[in-house]
Chain A
Amino acid sequence: MTDQNLTHLETWDRRQAEYEESRRVGPIKATFDRMLRNRLLLFGTVLGLIVLGAGFVGPTISGADPNLQNFSATHLPPGSEGNLLGTDHLGRDQAVRVFIGIRVSLMVAAGVTLISLAFGLVLGMFAGFLGGWRDRTIRGVVDFVWGFPLILVAVLFAGGLGEGLFPVILAVGLVNTAAIARVVRGEVLSLSEREFVEAARAGGLSTPRIMWRHLFPNILAPALVLASYYVAVAIIAEAALSFIGLGAQPPTPSLGGMVSDGRNFLHINPWASTIPGVTIVLLVLSVSLIGDGLRDVFDPRLRHEAKGVEQE
């Protein structure tokens, strides 16, 4: 027997066990218990909470100005008196800047996720459920957008709208919308074959009502899980674009911009780029772990799709 068949059996067994458990203790508690048991998710959540906490509570506690320059205290190493993570080439406090940078990253990620989730869900559901020429049109546009490298789209947007976070959010949101719409469409196509949709149709429900009451609740969990995967994509893209100067503009502190500022001083103060760089990696890692964990908890079938988005 091949490995693949084995995994299917395991998945089936697990789903059966999950079903029985949710019958016993109720669906909400069963889901929550599963979340706690998932070590990846737990680790990712703890890591994420630490980074998030640093981003949101950090600046409030210190109350310091991220752009305050102090030329008598440049290039301090981490652990210096009054500058927990040291200072950069202008003597600005690294800790405060990293905290605000996390906030900027998360704001971009939130904007991108809202845009891509909203439009991706609507487009994917319309294409998958309505079919026909609407499906062909939406699919044509979505496949076209999806075929472009994210960074190239963002550079084109920056070329049209100027540099800044707004074009970055639009560009990344656009490409992620296409990615989410593709998967949602596929899910809707397979859901439309199921008996409950058939039953709703036979019962004479209108198309909008079937889509809203019967398809939407079934599609929401996998879409949210998928969106969490694209949060990581958005964070990396924002950092990369800020790094090459097309994202956040000074004086707004952003993690990518800080890595870029620090790279001219690698030989005297490697910390200046290392600290924001490690922060980006931690942020991305925690978001990916949360995404992977959520996927395992809510929808084991999505495992292949989230990993294989690029391979279709």
Chain B
Amino acid sequence: MTTPQYSPPAAPEAIPDNPPRVKPIVALGGMYRLLLRQQLTKGRVLLALVMGALGILVCTIIARESEIVDVVPVVEFLSVFALGLAIPILSLVLASSSLGHLVEDETLVYLWLRPAPRWILALSAYLASLTVALPSTVVPFSIAAWVGLEGDTSGTLALAYATALAVVAYCGIFVFIGLILRRSLIWGLLYVFIWEFFVARAGQGAARLSINTYPSSLLSRLTEVELPLAERSMTAAITVPPVVAVIAVGLTAWQLNRANVA
């Protein structure tokens, strides 16, 4: 290492009226790349691989047990395992850490204090978690569907669409939860198991307030397999998850504006 010349930045003579303003797209790109790199840990990749492999394994077993291609058990299994369990949990692990980890290790200040609108930080965190969560769920569960349905393209695509919709909504919710709650993993798991699994299955009224019912309804309508409490219309199934995501990102930006940053 060479000894540098001692030359601190020059002090401004007067406070400039217009200090440099960062362009939103530039700030978005910078924050997104950083948060994306933070997302990719060995543990999270391993969890995604295990979940995906498990889905593929079970679908393979289901396909081998039946002499004819039976859509129902494969779709029912993927509805429960992929849409009801693996996707919310994977989304939770990835998205809740996106900002939650910055809060815990007190690095949020390095992004928060920069002169960029807070919605950019919220959107960056959401996009970063989505970038990891989408391929790590859509790819393995589509393979699982393709194996289970013995190459049925329409069924495989139906599962892929439903998975993508679920991830879009869950990531938004869990980025927000990660920001506002300490121990967000525990709270998120309680939400998944108690609300999505238990309360939302108690009846149609509660089901409307769960995320799972919308991708399940889409899967049900596209595959024509009846699934429990999957009775939302096609329009609702397609539009509600992205709307939930937009609201969640907006809430995250709002919370960032009023947060106490360490």
Chains A and B form a bound pair? no
